[in-house]
Amino acid sequence: MLRACAMTARSSDPPARWPELGLVVSGPARLRRHLEAEYGPAAAAEVAGGRATDIGLEVTSLSPQQSAPVWADRHKTTIWRTHLTPPSERPIRLGVAVRGAFGPSLVQSLAVEPLLSIALAERGTCLLSGAGIVVDGRAVAICGRSRSGKSTLALRAWAAGRSVLSDDHLRILGTGEVAGFRRRLRIYPDLRSTAPGATSRLGRATRARLVAADVVRRASAGWIGLPVLLDPSGVIDEDARVPLGAVVVIDRSADAGSVRHVNDPARAWPHLDAVVQHDLRWVARRDAAWQAATETIAAGQLDLLRAAIRAADARLSVLVVPAAWPAPRAIDAIAEQLSLD
């Protein structure tokens, strides 16, 4: 059983709100503290009647009396339970109970941010897995699945003096603008070989944490691969809004023998669709209703991207990188192709 102290926030605590995201969180306490560290200080104003017009997603503690369905998920030593309202209800409501060191981070990446992407799409904004880097006054959106090198490329660009809007998720508006997205950076020990210039700028304490994370990874034979969480202040320009210049999808292809930059939108759309579908996978697995709804939702997000690309007259392409290449070589090739350094 999950301990009550890990499930609930104090009843006296007002809901934490991020109006620009349409997010309201009243629990669990651990998840709320985690999201405040991720997204920055929340507006702690009371929500009149428990609701507000700017709410797109409401996260609460899972009640012990919660009616079905309640889903249980786990990863290694972490367990979390959730209840999600039907896809027809607004605002979207997610009830959460979580146990384990990695619980808040997993709930954030698997549930909160996919649901945020759904809520934001209904407001004309696509929340996409991608890094946003400013090149010649316009944003280059580098999209791809987890561990495709987005954060490393963003940090390399930052070390080269470029403005960075995001390292892992970015907001693309249907008007053709790209908005910054504040979220703690997740860096891994291989950053020392993939972005040595950025590593040297991170400071002695952060470099020591990277070394410690590498020691833990080696000692556990890779079972524990902890990222080092880095405050984005000074790296991410979260308040900026920049016209979209290009959308580049990273494809780590198993059959590629060399790096290729394919300037063919017809080739890019299926890859973008795969990124969007991958982001929504946890939501789609909840039940048949959400599975059907996510197909429509994904199509709507792609329509938003099309509108943004048309409005900004932006380019859309695929950057194919051999899957067999080690991370330093792959990152070097991508940075050179996109002129990020």
Q: Is the pLDDT of residue 6 over 60?
A: no
Q: For the segment 95-115, what is each residue's pLDDT rounded down to a tens digit?
A: 999 998 889 999 999 999 999
Query: What single string gives the DSSP state of each residue in 133-202?
Result: EEETTEEEEEE-STTSSHHHHHHHHHHTT--EEESSEEEEETTSEEE-----EEE-TTHHHH-HHHHHHS
**Domain locations along the chain:** 4-123, 126-183+235-338, 185-230
Query: What single string gives the DSSP state of each residue in 43-96?
Result: B-PPPGGG--TT-SEEEEEPPTTPPSP-EEEEETTEEEEEEE--TTSSSEEEEE
Stretch 126-139: mean pLDDT: 95
Out of 10-19, 26-35, 153-162, pick the least confident. 10-19
Q: For the segment 144-172, what is each residue's pLDDT rounded down to a tens digit?
A: 877 788 999 999 999 999 999 999 999 99
Cβ neighbourhood burial of 4 (10 Å; 0-12, 13-18, 19+): exposed
Stretch 77-81: mean pLDDT: 92
Q: For the segment 37-75, what is each residue's pLDDT rounded down to a tens digit?
A: 999 988 755 544 444 447 899 999 998 878 789 999 998
Q: Is the pLDDT of residue 254 over 50?
A: yes
Q: How far apart are CA 205 and CA 196, in angstroms?
A: 16
Longest dimension (CA), the chain: 60
Give residue 4's pLDDT: 28
Q: For the segment 320-329, what is each residue's pLDDT rounded down to a tens digit?
A: 999 999 999 9
Q: How far apart are CA 38 and CA 230, in angstroms?
A: 10
Helices and strands of the chain, counted as H and E runs: 11, 16
Instruction: Give the confidence band of 257 by pLDDT, cuts at 50, 70, 90.
Output: confident
Q: For the segment 235-246, what is each residue's pLDDT rounded down to a tens digit?
A: 999 889 999 999
Give residue 44's pLDDT: 57
> Using the 8-state DSSP alphabet, how is residue 236 labeled?
B
| Exposure string for 226-259, b = 16+ CB within 10 A, e = fewer | bbbbbebeebbbbebebbbbbbbbbbbeeeeeeb
Instruction: Give the confidence band of 266 by pLDDT, cuts at 50, 70, 90.
Output: very high
Give residue 253's pLDDT: 83
Q: Is the pLDDT of residue 36 over 80?
A: yes
Residue with tokens 């909160």: 112
Give residue 96's pLDDT: 96
Report the DSSP beta bridge partners of residue 319. Answer: 250, 261
Stretch 5-23: mean pLDDT: 68
- Between 208 and 48, the higher pLDDT residue: 208
Q: Indicate the fold that domain 126-183+235-338 takes in CATH.
A: Rossmann fold (3.40.50)
Give φ, ψ of 8 to 5 degrees. Answer: -125, 150
Q: How far apart are CA 136 and CA 339, in angstroms?
A: 11
Instruction: Give the confidence band of 1 by pLDDT, cuts at 50, 70, 90.
Output: very low
Q: Is the pLDDT of residue 12 over 80?
A: no
